Amino acid sequence: MSSENRHPFLDGLSKHRGAPPTVVVIFGASGDLTKRKLVPAIYNLGLDNLLPSDFFLIGFGRKPIPNDEFRQLAHDSLVEFSRRDLDEKIWKRLEANTCYVDGPYDDSAGYKKLKDQIDSYEKEVGRDLQVMFYISTPPSVFTAVVSELGACGLASRNIGTPLASKVVVEKPFGKDLESARALNATINQHFEENQIYRIDHYLGKETVQDLLVQRFANSIFEPLWNRNFVECVQITVSEDLGVGSRGGYYDQSGALRDMIQNHTMQLLSLTAMEPPVSLDPESIRDEKVKLLKAIQPLELSSPKGDVVRARYGEGLIDGNKVPAYMEESGIPEDSSTETYAALRLSINNWRWEGVPFYLRSGKRMARRVSEIAIQFKTPPGILFSSSNVFDLSPNTMVIQIQPDEGVSLVMNSKIPGLETRTQPVRMNFRYKTTYGSNTPEAYERLILDAMIGDSTLFIRGDETEASWKIVTPILEFWKSCGNQCMAEYQSGSWGPLEADQLAWENNHHWRKPGP
């Protein structure tokens, strides 16, 4: 192969912006997330020449797996789940630096083997390596993993230097405010806050990252982003799938914990936060925390409360009949778990006083979509006030996060002809159309940022607690109610009538997201 055609990663070179030599250790290496997302993300970073020249991957799990078998499993996951075809030359380079260590998560013996493996890599390359621990295990063993990393000294490796150990933590980070505080206390016993990367993959999506650019780099939007011009904001995170085979697991969580507390609150904070003083990670995260702390306590018990919960009944999805939640496998007869949650929030600050924020998330809804819709106030009804003559819609900016990433703007336009008739029209920008469809997946960006120490897209400990402080009173209230006030919605719909009433009370209507 000629030198100009040879991929630089094959020569152990890297053009990346400062990623140090790194060992990534994945706890829960035989799990579904590792197979579907983590290994493909690391491979695609290698394919793009974004891994450091000395890069090593160690899988850690309870199940004994020979190195060759683990490498074959990783290879197979790339064939099935990588967004790009497998380049065997790049894979061979990664494969040579991939191994597996087994051991119980709460036994020091496995961590001793892990430490020895890391030491052997350092002897091989002749220099210190940064170690990044990716905890992709069930929440029940998180505390054990963190404690053992601290006990064996792996958590404090190279502390105070650019090669200090890092730990990446998957959600859920706690199940309420008390457990989140306890987890923060545990992890802070062994890791400094600047070593901790609490991950929410939504923050790695291109459109979420683009939200700051849309807000602060466009003079046509930035002056309007306040109570003087915004009528309301709606954030929708919906799925058309049911709980499937995960019924028993999901019933311990529910829509509020599973989607609202993390993904949806993250979208809210980026949408509504004040401009940070810089793009420095801590400046951005400071403003997100301030925003969450400015959310007013919710009214829970009155007939016109700020929260709605529901679960799906029978219905049609893509023309096929699907069962109700209570008929799904693994759901207990006395379940009081919601599959849909809607919140109406008020933000007590100068920018957003009087502007309602509507959040909703649910399963078995009309379609899979995640979007942020900023509805602007309508102009005075003087020229086009005759509703039976003019078809007008509020100007709305829609930031669509999935499945078709992009931004659209709803405007009103005159219909061609001799009469003055109007019609709402949509101006669309789509990432696929402009930039092509093969954009990096969220985990690629997040793993790369964690390696180089950029915490912008990760969640700080106080931010996690601020979010749980909003959600926990709702969970406690619902628990006290049992199945009372549990609404139902038809599968394939946009949710229950009770959620519509949240918006109607302010003369608003939920959007019906469309392509």
Residue 11 burial class via C-beta count within 10 angstroms: exposed 0-12, middle 13-18, buried 19 and up: exposed
Per-residue pLDDT band at 386 (split at 50, 70, 90): low
**Helix/strand/coil for 480:** helix
- Look up residue 428 and give its two tokens: 């669309």
Q: How far apart are CA 334 and CA 329, in angstroms?
A: 14
Query: What's the pLDDT tens digit per position in 256-312?
Result: 999 999 999 999 999 999 999 998 999 999 999 999 999 999 999 877 799 999 999
Catalytic status, residue 263: yes
Torsion sign (Cα): 86, 89, 95, 97: negative
pLDDT in tens, 101-111: 999 999 999 99
CATH 3.40.50.720 fits 3-170, yes or no: yes
Q: Where are the alpha helices (DSSP H) in 453-493?
A: 461-481
Least confident residue range of 176-185, 288-297, 406-415: 406-415
The one catalytic residue among 75, 201, 263, 508: 263
Angle at 221 between CA 362 and CA 226, to 5 degrees: 70
Least-confidence region, from 14-28, 132-146, 439-453, 470-484: 14-28
List beta partners, residue 55.
22
Class of domain 203-436+461-504 (CATH, top level): alpha beta
Q: CATH 3.30.360.10 in the chain, residues? A: 203-436+461-504
Given this model, what pLDDT does residue 66 score?
96
C-beta separation of 366 from 494 below 8 A: yes
- The verdict on whether omega for the bond into residue 8 sits within 30 degrees of 0, i.e. cis, is no
Q: What's the longest Cα–Cα distance across the chain?
A: 83
Q: Express the helix, strand and coil content of the chain in percent, nearest 5 each.
A: 40, 20, 40
